[in-house]
Amino acid sequence: MKKNKSNYLNRELSWLDFNQRVLDQAFRKKNPVLERLKFLAISASNLDEFVMVRVGGLKLVQQLGSSKPDISGMTETQQLTAIAKRMREMYATQVRCLSELEPEMRDNGIIRLRPDDLSETQRAYLERQFETELSAAAAPLAVENNFGFPMLSGTRLCLCVKLKADREQIIAPRDGASVPSTQDDDESGLSSDQQTESGVRYALVPLGRSLNRIWTVPGSEAYSYMYLEEVFGMFLSEMFGGQEVLEWAPFRITRNGDVEIDEDSRADLMIDMQEMLKARETSQCVRLEISASASESLTQFLCDAVEITQDDVYAVDGPLAMKDLFAISFMKGFNHLKDVPWPPQPVAEMMRPSEIFEKIATEDRLLIHPYQSYDPVVDFVRAAAADPQVIAIKQTLYRTSEKSAIASALEEAAIDGKHVTCIVELKARFDEARNIQWAKRLELAGVDVIYGIQGLKTHAKVCIVVRKETTGIRRYVHFGTGNYNESTARIYSDISLFTCDEQLGIDAIHFFNAITGLSVPQTLGKLSAAPINLRETLLEMVSIEIENQQKVGSGLIVAKLNSLVDREIIDALYKASQAGVEIRLNIRGICCLLPGKKGLSENITVVSIVDRLLEHARVFYFRHGGDDRVFISSADWMGRNLDRRVELLVPVEQDHTKGRLIRMLNAYFDDNMNASILGDVGTYRAVEEKKKKKRQFRSQEALYKEAHQMFQAHSDPRTTVFEPIRKPEL
Active site amino acids: 459
CA–CA dist 250, 207 (Å, integer)? 10
Listing DSSP states for 291-341 in one string gives ETTS-HHHHHHHHHHHT--GGGEEEESS-S-GGGGHHHHT-SS-GGGSPPP
CA–CA dist 587, 28 (Å, integer)? 21
Q: Which residue, among 239, 274, 581, has the nearest Cα to 451 in the 3D structure?
A: 274
Going by their DSSP bridges, the two strands 158-164 and 110-112 should be labelled as unpaired
Residue 579 has a CB neighbour count (10 Å cut-off) of 17
Helices (H), 446-527: 502-516
Angle formed at CA 577 by CA 572 and CA 582, multiple of 5 degrees? 115
- The answer to whether the peptide bond before residue 370 is cis (omega within 30 degrees of 0) is yes
Q: How far is CA 79 from CA 2, 3, 8, 16, in A?
A: 24, 20, 14, 12
Q: Which residue, among 610, 479, 454, has the nearest Cα to 18 in the 3D structure?
A: 610
CA–CA dist 81, 75 (Å, integer)? 10
Angle formed at CA 614 by CA 610 and CA 620, multiple of 5 degrees? 90
Residue 492 has a CB neighbour count (10 Å cut-off) of 19
CB 613 within 8 A of CB 370: yes
Listing DSSP states for 255-275 in one string gives E-------TTS-S-HHHHHHH
Angle formed at CA 195 by CA 192 and CA 201, multiple of 5 degrees? 130
> Coil, strand, or helix at residue 279?
helix
The residues near 421 (Cβ < 8 Å, ≥ 6 apart) are 392, 393, 394, 395, 447, 448, 450, 512, 516
Q: How far is CA 591 from CA 15, 76, 305, 467, 678, in A?
A: 8, 19, 38, 43, 9
Q: What are phi and psi of 60, to 5 degrees?
A: -60, -45
Q: What are phi and psi of 50, to 5 degrees?
A: -60, -45
Evaluate the CA torsion angle 35, 40, 45, 50 in order and state its sign: positive
Say what the alpha-carbon torsion angle 534, 540, 541, 542 is, to the nearest 10 degrees. 110
Say what the alpha-carbon torsion angle 122, 124, 125, 130 is, to the nearest 10 degrees. 130
CA 234 to chain centre: 36
Q: What are phi and psi of 234, to 5 degrees?
A: -70, -25
Q: How far is CA 510 from CA 464, 527, 696, in A?
A: 11, 10, 47
Residue 337 has a CB neighbour count (10 Å cut-off) of 18
